[in-house]
Structure 1
Amino acid sequence: MTRIKLSMLLAMALPMSALAAPPSADTVLIGGKVLTADDSFTIAESLAIKDGRIVAVGSNSNVSAYIGAETHIIELDGKTVIPGLIDNHFHFVRSAWNFQNEARLDGVDTRAEALAILKAKAAEAEPGDWITVIGGWSPRQFQDDSSSFTLAELDSVSKTNPVYLLQSYSSGYANSAAFAETGTENTGSAELSGRNGLTPFTNAVSWSNKAASREAILNYMAELNRLGLTAVYDSGRESDGDLTPIGELAAEGPMPLRVFHTLRYNAADAPAAVNLIEGMSPNTKNDYYGLIGLGEHIYSPVQDSPNVTAMWPDATWAPFSDISWAAAKNGWSVHEHVMSNATAVQFLDLIEDIAEEVPQVKELRWTIAHANGMTDAEIARAKDLGVAIGVHAQARMSFRTVDKPPIGSISRSGVLWGLGSDGAIVSSYNPFHTLGWAVTGKNIAQGIGWGDTETVSREEALLAHTNYNAKLIFMEDDLGTLEVGKLADLVVLNEDYLTVPEDDIAHLLPVLTMTAGEVVFEK
């Protein structure tokens, strides 16, 4: 008798219950509404986790079979579960540094509450400490009074500690102590304008080229876990800060937040960049940390904005082109900051030229980031070239329709796309603010300033922040959906994402966040 026949005979002799019994799970979440965010948007009741991965998704009765003597059972009581949210365009390193000392006004609806937050921060400050808000807000979000902050208001926050509120790279506010600390003339107005006007204040608290401590990194990871984020793609530049402490933390073991990043180099030196790209390998990450590709400014002199109306001159575009060719030939994904229609056309022209000689560029998931100026024609070209589109909530902060990417048209086209924040200076880093904006089309002032029909369904928005984003970071085999075999990154919500009023999506809150089956946040 062969071994195969013997094993079959032994199997036939076993009780059917022994054959059918699944392995006991480490954790079972049962009795809820599990939005798997798979391609069919399947909704289940329960799921089971073992060794950090999902081993079962389905009905309460089916998943109950995975409950053993040592299984930790989480009774969902009807609560909604979604995959861990992925941000495809984040500035994690510099934000971790800033978060150590700043207050945040993301989502604060009233001026009174904003001032109360600032005063509470001042009450904790030591003499000489700066009280800062480094982006993610605008006075126009205040429903009670959206006028600019006055010097008297900010002096009421603190008369002795400098106060600096960075609204954007070209606008902000300061109190009298901050003017004195920087040696800047105090004209009686708190308002600061222009990059040069902000420079003395930004330099005083600058994140540039800093290395955040282990404690600061873990604190910021905890903050993002609190909001349901389990993975981010840091698309920053060399000056954003040192990645080394994150790499050291990742080397010690699993982190509560997955942090992937672009290649850091001097983006003003094209020949050196080409040499580096040719000498390194892309996509060298593991499940928690590592390098993916290039971006968001592969050549820094190409600084696009929605106001650009002409194509870049050859002297500027040629080095950009050289880096692009090197990236394609060496298998690098590119995640490029493109805001204007003119630059979108020029970039797609370049990719078409590259594809004739290097057809595999269509498989590298090159991404147009921001995409404010995309038209249907450019969206169709991008799809044909295998170019993805990253849509980011920095546009939510604006009041100009020229700043608004055509989210609905992008979604309907069938092109691969995803949602991100561009946090945490030019936008809020709260992913539910991004989801609410994509569904309602309302900007930070609840829609004032534009009338917009370029919205998507709440199902499509969630897919874009999970399923589709996993593809943009080359992690679709492990992240993005709640399916058997995937890593158990998930979020339990306080209310049902699918049924709350659309305007309330931005106010949803996680009550529990898991990364690889481990609880990293619990309310």
Structure 2
Amino acid sequence: MRDRRIIKRLVILSIVVTLCMGFSGTLPKKLDPLAPDSIYLNGTIITMDDNNTNAEAVAVKDGKIIAVGSNKDIRKLAGKSTKTIDLKNKVMLPGLIDAHSHFPSPGLVGTVYANLNSPPVGTIVKIQDIINVLVVHSEYTEEGEWILGRGYDQTLIEERRHPTKEDLDQVSADNPIFITHTSGHLAAANSAALKLAGITKDTPDPAGGKIWRDSKTGEPTGVLEEGAMQLVSKHVPPVSFEENITAVKEAVKEYVSNGVTTSIIAAGGKESIINLQKFSEQGLLPIRITTMGTGGGLGDLGQSPGEMGGFITGFGNDMLKLGAVKMWQDGSIQGYTGYLSKPYHLPPDDDPEYRGHPLQSREKLAEKVSELHKAGYQIAIHGNGDAAIDDILYAFRKAQEEFPRKDARHRIEHAQMAREDQLDDMKELGITPSFYVSHTFFWGDQHWEIFMGPERAARMSPLKSAVKRDIKFSVHLDSPVTPMSPLQAVWSGVNRITRSGEVVGPEQRVTPLEALRAVTIDAAWQNFEEDIKGSIEPGKYADFVVLDNNPLTIDPVKIKDIKILETIVNDKTVYKK
């Protein structure tokens, strides 16, 4: 009886195996564990590996790369269920990394905030245009509600000045109005907003900020600088979750259509980080997100890296995680709030000694940095002017002397006016800058003529000096300050062409390959992710971008015009032209 049962089971097992194998004798996917899910063939694949290897084909399984090589070799790996994608001789790169922006804020411009940018981003060329756009925006605003705008730039409009409360009162005398400068470091408010905030001629300037005043009457003009902005902004109702969802959807469209597969959010508080988790849970984030925390010390962040005070449970996976702690030491040079070691070329108010100002003392910054460094955090500090960079370097050096740490990879954000000696210090201390090199296009003319003068303007965003020192760096767009387009940042790094068509600082131009590394593998390294992304190599995420032309061989002036044909995350298409 027992032998009969055994024979019966063997017969049944034999039938099952035969059915699974089918007539071809090839195991189906679930019984063929070594076959790739996808193979990409017939491409010009720029791997961005250590040897800058090119390949023809890639094999992917479970969202990760398992092989890179020739068409012939990769074809051999295919199983019965493997999907084959013909790249048709198009160019494939690793997914592009947005090293510093403010996702999903770009999606709020034109929806919650009126778009006040000047060409080529927007339409504003004079103060009256700002008024007209806000009037149209106010038609969708209830009586007494806030009218908000973003992106104006006094250097790009005919009047070459900030809008005042009198200008904004023409839009509405009853609705409070608050519009933010393109840099995010200044703003203008109307009379209703100033009244709501209790700002009068007797209101003292807050720490790290300035209330602009009429030189004759002492009355506030409506323009608020740095910390003074918070006197008004704290009264603005927070963006609703529904508005944020709309912004996320719009921002995702912008990012994926520009080849972005990872975005580094440059600062996030408790509420924004919790919102990101909700967006992720709702399936709204098809790209990878790393968000910096906003820090001033361990009291803000909690006691251990990655926990952010413990207010997020289970936060952190391959699609959404915490990164460095973000801090600030100065503002914006085009807003005259960047902190310089020497006076501005054409200073405001005819003050020949004006150099901008730090947002805190050097010692206070160093105290915060040491506390965070000792606790094991990576730290990213905003520094545009060279005096601010001096303070940041001082703080990082002091922290390392007190609490030595190998390979901390602390960052300097923007590093716009970094000097040669400061780059030497960065190399010595292992500091990595993220250059806002697109400044050379968007504000290169103004830096040359107004803010820095020819000599210093030629050295803004000194990429080549960093390359010569073998300093790894990234480049970024700081969206929504400028539109998301990593290829535009690459183009700026290679060409350094201004809006007017001039070349600012040709000796600081880098090669297309060097610039591409700054939006792929070197940007990944900057965030301790070089083992999982940034190049097309086995073991890394299958995050790719497909282009219609090769940025390494095309005329360098045309790099920014290369079309993104497809963006792929985890072997799944998230955008296709």
Same fold (TM over 0.5): yes
2:362 equivalent to 1:331: no
The answer for the alignment partner of 2:260 in structure 1 is 229
Q: Distance in 1 between matches of 2:187 and 2:365?
A: 32
Q: Deviations over 1:118-172 (max 9, x none)?
A: 99xx79x85879998733x879999xx999999xxxxxxx99x999795444789
The answer for the alignment partner of 2:469 in structure 1 is 413
Amino acid at match of 2:53: T
Partner SS, residue 293 of structure 2:
coil
* Aligned ranges 1:151-300 → 2 under 5 Å: 167-169=182-184, 195=225, 211=241, 212-236=243-267, 238=269, 242-251=272-281, 255-264=285-294, 267=296, 272-273=299-300, 276-278=301-303, 281=306, 285-297=316-328
Amino acid at match of 1:278: Q
Q: Distance in 2 between matches of 1:170 and 1:336?
A: 15
Aligned mate of 1:435, from 464, 468, 490: 490
The answer for the alignment partner of 1:5 in structure 2 is none
Q: Distance in 2 between matches of 1:367 and 1:253?
A: 31
- Range 25-34 or range 102-111, more displaced: 102-111
Aligned mate of 1:376, from 409, 420, 423: 420
CA apart distance, 1:322 = 1.8
- Provide structure 1 residue ranges, at least 5 long, that are not aligned to the other structure: 1-16, 151-157, 184-191
2:538 equivalent to 1:494: no
Q: Distance in 1 between matches of 2:234 and 2:274?
A: 23
Q: What is the Cα-based RMSD across aligned positions, in Å?
A: 4.7
Q: Distance in 1 between matches of 2:261 and 2:302?
A: 29
Amino acid at match of 1:34: I
Q: Distance in 2 between matches of 1:514 and 1:314?
A: 41
Partner SS, residue 518 of structure 2:
helix
Q: Distance in 2 between matches of 1:514 and 1:376?
A: 39
Amino acid at match of 1:272: G
Given that 1:335 and 1:366 are in contact with CA atoms closer than 8 Å, whether structure 2 keeps it comes out as yes
Given that 2:437 and 2:461 are in contact with CA atoms closer than 8 Å, whether structure 1 keeps it comes out as no
Given that 1:261 and 1:292 are in contact with CA atoms closer than 8 Å, whether structure 2 keeps it comes out as yes
Given that 1:230 and 1:257 are in contact with CA atoms closer than 8 Å, whether structure 2 keeps it comes out as yes
CA apart distance, 1:312 = 7.8
Aligned mate of 1:456, from 479, 493, 510: 510
Q: Distance in 1 between matches of 2:180 and 2:294?
A: 28
Amino acid at match of 1:466: T
CA apart distance, 1:514 = 0.5
2:517 equivalent to 1:481: no
Q: Distance in 1 between matches of 2:397 and 2:563?
A: 43
Q: Distance in 1 between matches of 2:394 and 2:304?
A: 27
CA gap of 1:69–1:38, structure 2 versus 1, over 3 A, is same
Given that 1:491 and 1:514 are in contact with CA atoms closer than 8 Å, whether structure 2 keeps it comes out as yes
Partner SS, residue 384 of structure 1:
helix
2:39 equivalent to 1:50: no
CA apart distance, 1:314 = 12
Q: Distance in 1 between matches of 2:501 and 2:251?
A: 28
Aligned mate of 1:470, from 499, 524, 549: 524
Partner SS, residue 366 of structure 2:
helix
Task: Give the TM-score, by structure 2 length.
Answer: 0.69
Q: Distance in 1 between matches of 2:96 and 2:41?
A: 21
Given that 1:345 and 1:378 are in contact with CA atoms closer than 8 Å, whether structure 2 keeps it comes out as yes
The answer for the alignment partner of 1:305 in structure 2 is 338
2:547 equivalent to 1:517: no
Given that 1:237 and 1:296 are in contact with CA atoms closer than 8 Å, whether structure 2 keeps it comes out as no
Q: Distance in 2 between matches of 1:102 and 1:382?
A: 38
2:388 equivalent to 1:363: no
Partner SS, residue 484 of structure 1:
coil
Q: Deviations over 1:430-486 (max 9, x none)?
A: 2121111001011344337x4432111000101111101111122111110011110
CA apart distance, 1:346 = 2.9
CA gap of 1:315–1:112, structure 2 versus 1, over 3 A, is closer
Partner SS, residue 318 of structure 2:
coil
Partner SS, residue 494 of structure 2:
helix
- Provide structure 2 residue ranges, at least 5 long, that are not aligned to the other structure: 1-25, 164-170, 196-221, 309-314, 343-354
CA gap of 1:473–1:378, structure 2 versus 1, over 3 A, is same
The answer for the alignment partner of 2:73 in structure 1 is 62
The answer for the alignment partner of 1:188 in structure 2 is none
Aligned mate of 2:41, from 22, 30, 39: 30
Amino acid at match of 1:260: T
Given that 1:34 and 1:81 are in contact with CA atoms closer than 8 Å, whether structure 2 keeps it comes out as yes
* Aligned ranges 1:103-182 → 2 under 5 Å: 109=120, 134-135=150-151, 167-169=182-184
The answer for the alignment partner of 2:17 in structure 1 is none
Amino acid at match of 1:247: Q
Q: Distance in 2 between matches of 1:55 and 1:385?
A: 36
Partner SS, residue 296 of structure 1:
strand
Given that 1:236 and 1:262 are in contact with CA atoms closer than 8 Å, whether structure 2 keeps it comes out as yes
Larger-Rg structure? 2
Given that 2:92 and 2:546 are in contact with CA atoms closer than 8 Å, whether structure 1 keeps it comes out as yes
Report percent identity of matched pairs: 22
- Range 497-506 or range 344-353, more displaced: 344-353
What number of residue pairs does the alignment pair up? 475
Given that 1:299 and 1:323 are in contact with CA atoms closer than 8 Å, whether structure 2 keeps it comes out as no
Determine which structure has greater relative contact order: mean sequence separation of CA pairs < 8 Å that are 6+ residues apart, divided by chain length.
1
CA gap of 1:384–1:182, structure 2 versus 1, over 3 A, is closer
Q: Distance in 1 between matches of 2:280 and 2:273?
A: 11
CA gap of 1:342–1:181, structure 2 versus 1, over 3 A, is closer
Partner SS, residue 262 of structure 1:
strand
Q: Distance in 1 between matches of 2:329 and 2:160?
A: 38
Amino acid at match of 2:573: V
Q: Distance in 1 between matches of 2:283 and 2:86?
A: 29
